[in-house]
Amino acid sequence: MGGVARDLRSLPLPQNSTLNMARLPRQLEGLARMLTYILCHRPDEFGLVLAEDGFISLKLLHQALAAEPGWGFVRRRHLEEVATLLQPPRFEIVGEQIRGLAPGPARLRRPPGEKPPPLLYLALSPKAQARVWEEGLKPPPGQELVLARQADLARKIGGRRAAEPILITVQAQAAFKAGIIFQEYGEELFLAPALPREFLQMPPPPPGQEKAKPVRGPEPPTPGGALPLDFSKVLKPVPKTRRHQAEPAWKSQTRTWRKKRRRGE
């Protein structure tokens, strides 16, 4: 992404926003330009995919910014300051989501079904390596797999979730011929549904690594409105009886001698 700095310098400002940019501290002015570039022009360069309405998670945006040299200082309050100070507004924050308003969110989705390049890449956490080795790649519910044209970008995306992500090479054209539908997103990314194991090139998981176990759900409610009993609170513990210790021989002998003396023996 060596062209980011050049693109930022030449990025035109929206009409009537120049004076407001001048009032921002230099640090926030640079952040405003960077956010405009990411949210309104090239989110794909940073491995980000916007929702249909242009929003993206603040957490994902912050992770992407933190990975860029010189942007590790950014916190949520900086994003809120930029969104508040610029008038007319150029960014909108709703809950945990943010989008660009001027010149408008990037529209990078192309019609699905285009032929992908021979190879695409994805990097995942080592914790998921055994599961993917057995089952293939599956996106979280309601989401898509984000695949990169370049291995370096895939590693950068995976590095947001793990210190040493595992690189997977996807035989994209072979999967396409088998009926898998890909959707191009910008110039750097492709989106796809689940990918079967036979189209993935990846290192085997270390010996003994177990597949990630599903999260255990809450216990089912007791039938008939009955209340569950905690027997540890209902049943009283049985008091411990003091074990009778054997009496020393000298005491028993003394007691016997005293009895005989009282009887005059």
41 within 8 A of 7, measured Cβ to Cβ: yes
Mean pLDDT for all residues in the chain: 81
Q: Does residue 26 share a domain with residue 62? A: yes
The whole-number average pLDDT for the span 28-44 is 95
Q: Does residue 123 share a domain with residue 64? A: no
Q: Does residue 125 share a domain with residue 89? A: no
Residue with tokens 């940019």: 21
Single residue among 201, 226, 257 that ends a domain in this structure: 201
Q: Does residue 93 share a domain with residue 12? A: yes
Let me know if residue 107 belongs to a domain: no
Let me know if residue 126 belongs to a domain: yes
Let me know if residue 244 belongs to a domain: no
Question: Distance (Å, rounded) from C-alpha 229 to C-alpha 245?
Answer: 39
229 or 2, greater pLDDT: 229
Q: Does residue 75 share a domain with residue 18? A: yes
Question: Distance (Å, rounded) from C-alpha 156 to C-alpha 167?
Answer: 11
Give the model confidence (pLDDT) of 216-257 as tens digits. Answer: 555 555 555 555 555 455 555 555 555 555 554 444 444 544
Q: Does residue 144 share a domain with residue 81? A: no
Q: How confident is the model at residue 55 (pLDDT cuts 50, 70, 90)?
A: very high
**Amino acid at residue number 56:** I
Q: What is the CATH number of the domain that holds 58?
A: 1.10.10.970
- Three-point CA angle 257, 258, 261, nearest 5°: 90
pTM of the model: 0.72
Let me know if residue 258 belongs to a domain: no
Let me know if residue 257 belongs to a domain: no
Single residue among 54, 73, 100 that ends a domain in this structure: 100
168 CB-contact burial (10 Å; exposed 0-12 / middle 13-18 / buried 19+): buried
| Domain count of the fold of the chain | 2
Question: For the chain, what is the radius of gyration of the CA atoms?
Answer: 33
Q: Does residue 136 share a domain with residue 64? A: no
Tokens of 79: 């994003």
Q: Does residue 80 share a domain with residue 11? A: yes
Let me know if residue 221 belongs to a domain: no
Q: Does residue 141 share a domain with residue 195? A: yes
**Residue partners of 100: CB distance under 8 A and separation at least 6:** 35, 36, 38, 39, 40, 54, 90, 91, 106
**Residue partners of 56: CB distance under 8 A and separation at least 6:** 39, 43, 48, 49, 50, 97, 98, 99
Give the model confidence (pLDDT) of 88-146 as tens digits. Answer: 899 999 999 999 999 999 999 999 999 999 999 999 999 999 999 999 999 999 899 99
Cβ neighbours, 10 Å, residue 170:
28
- Domain of 151 in residue numbering reads as 119-201
Query: Given this model, what pLDDT does residue 25 score?
Result: 76
Single residue among 201, 217, 238 that ends a domain in this structure: 201
Query: Given this model, what pLDDT does residue 87 score?
Result: 85
Between the two ends of the chain, the Cα-to-Cα distance in Å is 113
**Residue partners of 195: CB distance under 8 A and separation at least 6:** 136, 137, 145, 170, 175, 180
Let me know if residue 19 belongs to a domain: yes
- Between the alpha carbon of residue 261 and those of residues 248, 252, 254, 264, 265, the distances in Å are 21, 14, 11, 5, 6
Q: What is the CATH number of the domain that holds 192?
A: 3.20.170.30
Helix (H) or strand (E) segment spanning residue 252: helix 249-262
Let me know if residue 241 belongs to a domain: no
Q: Does residue 159 share a domain with residue 79? A: no
